[in-house]
Every structure is written in structure tokens, then in C-alpha cells.
Amino acid sequence: MTTGIARKKKFVIASDSFKACLTAKQACDAFELGIMQIYPDSIIVKVPMADGGEGTVQALVDATGGRKVAKVVTGPLGTPVTAEYGILGDGKTGVIEMASASGIEYLKESEKNPLVTTTFGTGELIKDCLDHQISKIIIGIGGSATNDGGCGMASALGVRFLDKNGLELPRGGGGLRDLDRIDTTELDPRVKNSQLIIASDVLIPLYGINGASEMFGPQKGADDATVKLLDNYLKHYGDVIQRDLGKDVALRPGAGAAGGLGAGLFSIFEYSLRSGVDIIIEYTDLEKKLVDADYCFTGEGRIDFQTEFGKTPYGVAKMAKSVNSRITVIGVSGSIGKNISNLYTNAFDAIFSITPGPSDLETLLQDGQENIIKACENICRLIKSVEFAKN
């Protein structure tokens, strides 16, 4: 007869946000409440996640004991907006979401116009990091409203983009039409001594059929004719960067991310390009927390065929399986799309939707927390019944 106290089950909850519903931290809290209904004595480790987009600053600040800094900067249409960035616990690393300054969510549908929207505010956030003696900057470059090749960002750091008369170009993607030369003599010298880590899973080139304008111009307000103009302007921009700065950046993977902001960053910084979720995994020490876990719960608003291309749940699932062959990985999302069979290969054991039945979006968003709690409770009831049957 075997005696003794059974080992407590360990659950690692590593969820991204449920967009327009719950932050990553709020989602993790809801997961925990559901699990605790069935496993009240379990060990639960919560790791709010992100993939380089929305929530990245908060996730890294929380993970490192850092702080957030608010800064009034130039928004995508040139009007002031209040943006936030993070300074991590080491006091030497900054983290920026470019969308906080230059994001499409600042614009009404009628205001979207990539000919005029600018990344100038993103450059102002970088400058403020440098003013705080930050030597390493992590920048997530998703969710942009822009197609200016990052020239606005570079302008905020002292780079001058000039026409044939030596006049500075107007801001926005349309200004690149008249670009004659790039002058970096007034570039902030601290840029050269900074380490930049770009968090992006968008690996498109600057221009061409798979470039910034063709791929993402329409969702930023460009019609077919404007897409072609912007694509030509970015090609010209890439040519001028190569001629004046000696850097061939246009066709590098990621150059077209965020409307060409990638190319702008490539042209003036020493940088590395990494998957956003991999950066969060590293800074949160998620790998160590998964080693002895029994279950890993991860999720976000939607899981579908795109999830395996750099999204948080897949990154978490792959990491969990790579460090712990015994772990069960469960995905939980607001909705489940088609063609997800690949997600079960060396990653997920099961994927569940929290949607209880037909409903309107407003109601589902309002009930998101409650639906996560109920879903996780039901999943744990199933887990417990299987464990009971095995014993």
C-alpha cells in the first residue's frame, strides 16, 4: 500500500490579450479563476504574454519590475497624442510599441491616408528613451497607420530628407515622391551607440508585390492607384538609402514591416530582428517556469491557421513541448478559425473556444471574463475525470 501526499498539479497560464476585451493580465486572472474552481490547491504561475504588438510594453514591464513612461508625441496625422513606453527593471532597456505613437487605432475610417500619416511620434519615443540613458531599445512595429518608410521616425532623430531644392519633405508616404537626398549629419549621435531589437513577424520587403504598400496599404486607406504610387515612392526611397547611406535595406526581410518602418530603422541603427513572442518568452523566463509544469494554458482572441506564424499561443505551445515532454498544452480563444490541424503537430493537445453559443459581438466582449472562467472550469472538469479514470 502506497501512502503519502499527492503532488500538487502545476498550471502555467501564459495568455496574450483578448483584443478589445481583456488585457493579457486580465485574461490570465480569468484563466486562474476557472482552474481554481476544480483545482483549488494547485500551483498556478501566471505569465501575461504578447507577440511584439499590443501588450508588449505591459508584459515586459510586469515581468521585470519596470515602469511605464508617458510622453506627448506627434500622432500619425500630426496632432499630439499621449503615448507610453516602458523602462525595464534593469534601468537600461526600453520597450516601445510603435502603435502607441503611430498606430492605426488613432484614426477614424475617414481619416486613414498613408500619403500623409507619419512615424514622427515613434522617433520622438526613441529620442525620449535616449534622454533617459537607455542603451538597449526593444521596439514592436505592428499596428501602424503609416507608409512613410520610417522617414518620420528618422526625422525626429535628426535625419533630413530633402528635395532637389534642399527643402525638407512634407511628412507622410506621399512626401517621398520628391526625395532627392538624405542628410544624416545631424543624426542624434546616441543612435550609433544604441542596441536596437526589432520585434516583428512581418518579414516582407520594402516594395514590390509582397511589399509594404501592396500588402498593407489598402487597410491603411489606400485605393489601388494610391498603392501603386506608394510602392513606387518606397522603391525610390530604398534606392536613395543605398546611394546616400551605403545600406542596401529594401529587400531585407522585415524592411516593409509597419509601412517600411523596418527599412528606416535598418538604415540608421545597428539592429537585430526577432520574433516578438520569443522576446517575451526570454524576458519572462517562461522556459524555466514550464519545465516542471503539468499543464500549460495559453490563448488570445482568435486561434486560426495564422496562429503558427509568430502568434503568442503557438510560440508558448512550442516552447512548452520543447522543454517538457510530459506537459499538456491547451489553447483557449474567443473563436477558432479553419485549417488549424497543423497546430496539433508538436504543439497543442487541445484547443477550445470560450463562446457559449450564438451571440452578438458586443455581448461576447462584455462577457469575455465570465466565459473564460466557465471554459477553463469545464476544461479542468474534463482533465480531472480523465485523471480519475486513469487511477
Kindly list the structural domains of the chain, giving each domain's residue range(s) and its CATH number in brackets, ordered by start. Answer: 10-49+285-390 (3.40.50.10350), 56-277 (3.90.1510.10)
As given in the structure block, the three cell numbers for residue 214 are: 501592396
pLDDT in tens, 316-337: 999 999 999 999 999 999 999 9
pLDDT at 323: 95
Residues 115 and 146: their CA atoms lie apart, in Å, by 8
pLDDT digits (tens, 9 = 90+) for 72-114: 999 999 999 999 999 999 999 999 999 999 999 999 999 999 9
Q: Look up cell 510622453; give the residue.
A: 71
| Cell numbers for 41 | 490547491
> Is residue 4 over pLDDT 60?
no
Type of residue at 87: I
β-strand pairing of 295-303 with 328-336: parallel
Cα–Cα distance between 22 and 19 in angstroms, integer? Answer: 6
pLDDT tens digits along 268-311:
999 999 999 999 999 999 999 999 999 999 999 999 988 988 88
Pull the grid cell for residue 375: 471554459
How far is 56 from 85, CA to CA, in rounded Å?
10
Q: What backbone phi and psi angles, to 5 degrees, belong to 181? A: -160, 160
pLDDT of residue 3: 45
In angstroms, the CA 55 to CA 199 distance is 13
Indicate the pairing of strand 181-183 with strand 160-162. antiparallel
Q: Are 42 and 14 in contact (CB under 8 A)?
A: no
The grid coordinates listed for 378 are 469545464
pLDDT, one tens digit per residue, over 338-368 is: 889 999 987 999 999 998 878 788 888 888 9
pLDDT digits (tens, 9 = 90+) for 8-64: 899 999 999 998 899 899 999 999 999 999 999 999 999 999 988 888 999 999 889
Residue range 168-192, pLDDT digits in tens: 999 999 999 999 999 999 999 999 9
DSSP H helical segments within 197-256, as ranges?
212-216, 224-245
